[in-house]
Chain A
Amino acid sequence: MNDPQAFVTGLKLLGAGLAMLGAIGAGVGVGIAAAGGVQAMGRNPDAAPIIQTNMILGMAFAEAVAIYALAVALIIIFAAG
């Protein structure tokens, strides 16, 4: 606490870590998408290519949330004064 700048830096890193909490939701979402996709492919292997495409698409959208969290974290670490 006797070095205020170090204190601020520490809080900054803490904030970046907290921002990455958003990755929890994305992880759950991607997991659900994969589970659904694999189940569907198990039931109907013939439709696998179509299911795979849509599954990856859904995963990409779910992942976007984590990407936004990452962007915020990077901005906190590198850009925020």
Chain B
Amino acid sequence: MSEVKKKRRFGLFRWIVLALILIGVYFAFIGPSIYRPVRPAVVLPPEAVWPGLNIFGIPLTNTMLATLIADLILILMALRVNRFVKSGEMVPSGVSNFFEAIFEFLWNAVDSATGKWARKVIPLVATIFLLIFVANMVKMIPGFESIGYLEQLHKGTGYAPVPLFSIFGRTVYTIDNAQPVKLAAEAAASQGSEPTPAEEEHELCSACQVIPFLRGSATDLNFTVALAVIAVLMTQVYGVMALGLGYFGKFFQFGRLVNGGIFGVIDFGVGILELILELAKILSFSFRLFGNVFGGAALLAIIGSLLPVVLPPGLYLFEMLFGIIQAYVFYLLATVFISMAAISHHSEETAEAHA
């Protein structure tokens, strides 16, 4: 083995990598200033994809567009797998193989956690896992958070636009790192611009920032809160399916309050606390995913503007890892909460069924 490796040591690959690094150094530090990255603006709420583009009165935001792309990829994958299943072959390949590996992994964990409820639980949790997973991977595509339209800033530091090239009679602009425009700052946190070229459609601005067309889905709290609310509500539904309406006895222990004496009062308080805990789950579910993905995106943008050459590839790898782990954690917690809801506190037979 080592002999073969030694022969390949002076291959082409390393020179390509070295050339790419040198090109990166040239553009980031030596070359014309329009190629240099600028300080990014960290914006919490998602921006509209296009000014005035509304669907049913709601502006289409860039995170929604990214989620739609993730949905499209998932649907294509599902159609592919469906075709494979219909074909009746036994050995999957390509996308189907990948899907089978993921599904087997998910099924094993759900089966061991929820036992006889696994068949009913897996559609929900597997959907959540796949959506978060694909959305987090789609976020890594170059062009996300960097290509967009220019908008006039009202405070802080913007950058002057420079025409780059023309296509279909429209000019594509980039923003110039060497021409920062300081506006009469209202003492707010200074806002810079997104790092790369931008398309410009309406009249030019003097101090610009880029509003990206696409932004990672989970950098939007609406996405994560929606998933969290679905997960927690469905936990209650599975609880009722498993235990009947007696499931809510976990929260309102009136029986203990009436005949339990002083400890009955304590039990009643604990029940109310469990109800509050259910609401706290929504908070921790949504902020865990949002915090990780948003923090990662902000880190990538800021490191990319400070040291654009060596560090970002490693951080991208890190981000991919975290995208997978966060999807897994969301799915695992949802599974565990559902399995906990489906097990009664008092009845013995369900406990035995799970043992």
Contact = CB atoms under 8 A, between A and B. Distances in A.
Interface in A59-78: 60, 63-64, 66-68, 70-71, 74, 77-78
A68 B280 CA distance: 10
Given A9-B187, A9-B188, A53 B44 contact: no
Nearest to B186: A5
Interface string B319-339: 000000100110011001000
A63 B186 CA distance: 36
Contact of A56 (B44, B188, B284, B329): B329
B283 interface: yes
A53 B329 contact: no
Question: Chain A interface: which size bin?
Answer: 10 to 19
Interface stretch (B5-13, B26-34, B287-295, B309-317): B287-295
B137 interface: no
Interface in A13-50: 13
Question: Chain B interface: which size bin?
Answer: 10 to 19
Contacts of B332: 53, 56-57, 60
B284 A6 contact: no
Contacts of A56: 325, 328-329, 332
A67 B291 CA distance: 6
Contacts of A68: 283-284, 287
A57 B336 contact: yes
Contacts of B44: 74, 78
A56 B336 CA distance: 12
B288 A64 contact: yes
What 5 pairs across the A-B complex have the smallest Cβ distances?
A: A5-B187, A6-B187, A70-B291, A64-B284, A67-B287
17 contacts: A5-B186, A6-B187, A9-B188, A53-B109, A60-B288, A60-B332, A64-B284, A64-B288, A67-B287, A68-B283, A70-B287, A70-B295, A71-B283, A71-B291, A74-B44, A77-B189, A78-B44
Interface of A: 3, 5-6, 9, 13, 53, 56-57, 60, 63-64, 66-68, 70-71, 74, 77-78
